[in-house]
Every structure is written in C-alpha cells, then in structure tokens.
Chain A
Amino acid sequence: MPDLMSHLVIGLILAEIFNIRKKSLVALGAIMPDLIAKIDLLVFHLNAGIPLSFVHFHTPVMGFLAAIFLARFFRYSQVKASLFIILGVMSHLAADLAIKHFSGSGGVYLLFPFSVKPYSLGLIWPEQSFYTLILSVLVYAFVKIVKRNYSKSH
C-alpha cells in the first residue's frame, strides 16, 4: 500500500477537484480501508487469538457497503455522505492497485466476494510510495493555487 498520508492527500485532491465542502468525508473513505484491515495486525500483536480477519474490508464491495453504513452516523445528507466516503474508498483502492508484488502473490481483491484473485498493476514497490506522496502533495498544492486564482479572477 502507499503510505496513509499519500492516501489522505489523494483523497483531499479529489475533494478539491469535485469542490466537496465536507472534505473530511472523502479523507475518511481514503484511509478507512487500511484502518479497518489493520485490525488484523492489532489482533496479531495483542495475541488475542481471535480467528477473524478484517482484510476483506479492503475490497470495493465491502468498502462500498461500509461507507453507506458509516454515512448513517453523520447528520448530513445520507446520499452525499455515502458518495463522498465511497469516493475516498475507491481512490484508496485505485492507488493500491499500483503497488508491485511478486507475480500473483498480492494485490487488491477487486472481485471479492465472487473471486479472491488479487489484482495489481505492479507499478511501484511499497517503499517507493515516498514518490507518490511528494507527487500528490505537489498536485494538491497546484489544485489549491489554481482554485484560489480562479476564485480571485471571478
């Protein structure tokens, strides 16, 4: 996975591009798949002995359902809240698709629950996500500047 900061910034870029007022909902969706899936690590480190895995929340279907369910906790338009969180979740999974693994050994379970075949575009190794972070911060700054200049001139 790219680091959580890259996911967060990519989510914020999308929130800026689509002019979303509640940016934190997109940001929530952008980090949610990793936060839920990492419960596995917590269980492992605490040696809790719970034979349950949350890794399948890191899939489009589960992310979609969890986003709609989470939207319920916001006193805001349920449709908008769901869409904003879903946008964040999908940006997260799209960014994770870029991560390289040894052939066929890892990736995003795009077709869960119909298939558990992992998919990956194999573009960058996880530690190279520093470049993703730098690039996404630059793009975010660029979008902010363009929007500021646009609103000044109109």
Chain B
Amino acid sequence: MPFPLLEMRGVLVKAWYSLLLVLIVFLFLYSNVYGAYVSDKIFSIDNYLREPQKYGGNKAQVFGKAVSIGKDYFYFDAGQHTLRVSGANIEKSAFGESVALLYFRKDGIIELADYHNYSYNYLIYIISFFAVAVFAFLFFKEWKPTYRGFKDA
C-alpha cells in the first residue's frame, strides 16, 4: 500500500476508536447523570424512609437477609438499611440471601407481599471465583501480554 494511504488508514483507525471511546464515556456518564437526576423523583428506600407519605404506595423487591423474626414482624437487613417489616411468614435463607417483595405503605409501615430464599446462593459466589480462575487459565494459554497488547501465545 502507498505510504499516504497507510498513514490515512492509521488516522481513520485512531479516529474510529476515539469516537468509540467518546460514545462509551458519554453513555456511561449519561446513565449516571440520568440516575442522579431522577434519584429524588422516584421510589427508593432512602427516599421512602425520609418521606413515607410522598414515596409510599409502592411495591419493590429488596435483597437482603431476615435477621430476626418476631411474632408478626421481622427485621430485614437490606445492606444500608435494616427494615422493620410487618408479616412473619418468612423463613431465613440457608447459606444465602433472600429477595422480598415489600409493600411500602404511605403511613410508614412496610408489609411483606412475597419472598423467595436464595438458599445456598453463597455457593454460587464460590463457584464464580473458580470461574475467574478457569477463565484466566484459558486466557493466558491463548494470549501473551506485551506492551502493544495481547499477542498469540
């Protein structure tokens, strides 16, 4: 290929990847800015706990663990918040978490609508750890890292 054409091809490839990177960064920032923009307009546990009257009347699925089960209520550890939930028809998950469908009432009471236990789900995390190890083995069997990217091993 004549030299100017080669040079032009190089410029086009660089322009293409720059454009791609700009698009990825734009979409990434767009999703985050949009999320921040709507965060106080939509239902979230944070918003609900602050203003139940405004954000109540919603059903949402929440991940976590039932930590203590009382007679007609239980506490649900949802990570950043521990929620007091009405309804005692829940069993603790074995070696895993639960997903609860909760009804957030406008009067500040949270009711259990439905739940499902991800029993033994922690095993999945352990298996996933091995998956990363298997992937690394397969990857470095085929590719060798160099300063200019990965080349055929």
**Which A residues have a C-beta under 8 Å from some C-beta of B?**
3-5, 7-8, 22-24, 27-28, 31, 35, 44, 51-57, 61-62, 65-66, 68-69, 72-76, 101-102, 105-106, 112-113, 125-127, 129-130, 133
Contact = CB atoms under 8 A, between A and B. Distances in A.
B109 interface: no
B119 interface: yes
Contact of A69 (B17, B79, B96, B146): B17
Given A24-B143, A28-B135, A53-B35, A72 B149 contact: yes
Interface residues of B, number: 46
Contact of B61 (A4, A24, A31, A105): A105
Contact of A102 (B21, B101, B131, B149): B101
A113 B30 contact: yes
A3 B128 contact: yes
30 contacts: A3-B128, A3-B131, A4-B127, A5-B127, A8-B131, A22-B142, A23-B142, A24-B135, A24-B138, A31-B132, A57-B28, A62-B24, A62-B27, A62-B28, A69-B17, A69-B20, A73-B149, A75-B149, A75-B151, A102-B114, A102-B116, A105-B60, A106-B61, A112-B31, A125-B118, A127-B121, A127-B124, A129-B124, A130-B120, A133-B127
